[in-house]
Amino acid sequence: MGASAKQHLARELSSRVADGDVIGVGTGTTVEAVLTAIQERIVEESLRVHCVPTSYQSAWRLEELGLPVSSPALATQLDWAFDGADEVDEDLRLLKGRGAALLHEKIIAARTSRLFIVVDEGKLVSRLGSLMAVPVEVIPEARFTAAESLRALGASEVELRWCTALERTVPLYTQEGNLLLDATFSEIPRELEQEINRIPGVVENGIFTDSATEILVGTDSGVTFRKR
């Protein structure tokens, strides 16, 4: 996403902040641009805002900006939340999880009635799953049995996600110490999200069927909106 598109999105979302808001904060570079704009409003207008992050990365960035951070473990109700997405289809269904924070992102999505998704036009798809596989977070003990079950649900490929650390290629572990399986499906029907979550050992998956309230699409010239 270009810098100007990020700035348009940042200005739009920061304008929605109200004094006393408790805001769920997603993860990613666009999210960081929004946080900077929110911080500027807080300083200029002396607003009282608390933020609940979806990852350590977001929590650290909030701390750097001097924004009050509330633990996701607290029972605080969120006034609204914002996050990015890897894919958005015409029904406002999302595919997320390239950043490996999908579990906490889905928990935050479940705690608010207003979830705003910020993307660029390249993330808009006619068929969910056309750009990436479905990330599935599993406990390590379920790696092989969960992969078999995903194939039984129709996945053509199931790959363990790897990363590079200290010049070695090792399995990528999530914030909760789980593994990620990337499952490729030719079609993603509405029921697939729940079918995957019923597999023993699966913690969560990257399909967000009914979570998004509004999609904000950033372009070089401004922001367009898609609402339910």
Give CA torsion, residues 53, 54, 55, 58, to 10 deg.
Answer: -40
Residue 212 to residues 5, 39, 104, 147, Cα–Cα distance (Å):
20, 24, 15, 28
* Alpha-helix runs per DSSP H in 46-142: 56-65, 102-110
- 218 beta partners: 120, 223
CA dihedral 191, 209, 181, 198 (to 10 degrees): -40
Pick the closest to residue 206 from 86, 82, 95 (CA basis).
95
Q: How far apart are CA 139 and CA 172, in angstroms?
A: 12
Q: Work out whether strand 87-88 and strand 80-83 pair parallel, antiparallel, or are unpaired.
A: unpaired
Residues serving a catalytic function are 105
Q: Which of 113, 54, 109, 117 is nearest to 91 (CA)?
A: 117
